[in-house]
A and B are shown apart, each in its own frame.
Chain A
Amino acid sequence: DIPMTQSPSSLSASVGDRVTITCRATESISNYLNWYQQKPGKAPKLLIYATSSLKSGVPSRFSGSGAGTEFTLTISSLHPEDFATYYCQQNYRTPLTFGQGTKLDI
C-alpha cells in the first residue's frame, strides 16, 4: 500500500485568501496524483488529475503541483463555494489510496 498524508487536516480561511494543501506519499508515485472536492452530503468531484491538469469546467483558481512524493493543491483566491473537504488520491498502484482529507472552513 501507499499511504497518503494530507496537511493540514483542517484549515480556517476567509474569502479571497490563498490556501495551499499538501499531500505526501510514502514512496514515489511520479505524477499519478488526483485531487477531489467534497461538500457535505454530496459525492466527491474531480478537480485535478495527473498532479496539475485541471478537469474541464474547474475554475482556474485551482492549481496543482508536485512530483514524486510531495504534492500541493492551491486555491489562489477563495470563493464562498470553495469551502469543502479536499482529498488527494494516488493512482500509481493499487490499492488506490486517498489522503485523510483537509476540511477547509471559514
Chain B
Amino acid sequence: EMQLVESGGGSVQPGGSLRLSCAASGFTTSDHYMGWVRQVPGKGLEWVGRGKNPGHGYTTEYAASVKGRFTISRDDSKNSLYLQMNSLKTEDTAVYYCVREGGYCVNDVCYYYAMDVWGQGTTVTVSS
C-alpha cells in the first residue's frame, strides 16, 4: 500500500521556523515528483511547491506566497521529502499535506501529472 506520513507540525511564533518531514512507503520517491499542498481549516487547497525527481534534475518550484521562505528538499535514500519553513507568518497557518505527483500516459502522451497519493496532513499554527 502506498502511503505518506507527515510529521513535524506544531505551533510557532511569527518569524520562526519549522521543518516538516514526509516519509513515503509502498513506492520509490525517486521515481516521482513530490510536493506539498496546504489548507486553512474550512478553506480550499493551496499548492505550496514541488520537487521534481532525479530524471528532471531535482528542480524545485514554489508558490509565490512562500518563495524565498520555504525550501523543499528530498532524500530519496530515505524515501523522504522535507519542507523547511522560515520566516513564518500567521497566514501560513494551515494543514500541510505531502503529496506524490504520479505521472500518467493518455493516448501515448505521458506528461500528465496528478496528486495521486496524499498524506494525512500535519497542522502548522503560527501565532504570537
Q: Which residues of A contact B (CB under 8 A)?
A: 1, 31-32, 34, 36, 38, 43-46, 49-50, 53, 55, 87, 89, 91, 94-101
Chain B interface size range = 20 to 34
Query: Considering only CB atoms, which chain B residue lies closest to A42 in the complex?
Result: B120
A-side binding surface: helix, strand, loop or mixed? loop
Chain A proximity mask over B79-111: 1 for CB below 8 Å, otherwise 0:
000000000000000000100001010100000
| Among A38, A49, A99, A100, contact of B104 (Cβ-Cβ < 8 Å) | A49
Q: How many A-B residue pairs have CB under 8 A?
A: 63
A26 to B102, CA, bound (A): 25
Instruction: Tell me if B104 and A43 are in contact (CB < 8 A).
Output: no
Neighbouring B residues of A94 by C-beta, 8 Å: 47, 50, 61
Query: Considering only CB atoms, which chain A residue lies closest to B118 in the complex?
Result: A43
Instruction: Tell me if B114 and A43 are in contact (CB < 8 A).
Output: no
Does B115 have its Cβ within 8 Å of any Cβ on chain A? Answer: yes
Question: Which 6 A-B residue pairings sit nearest by Cβ, starting from the closest?
Answer: A49-B114, A43-B118, A96-B47, A50-B112, A34-B114, A98-B45
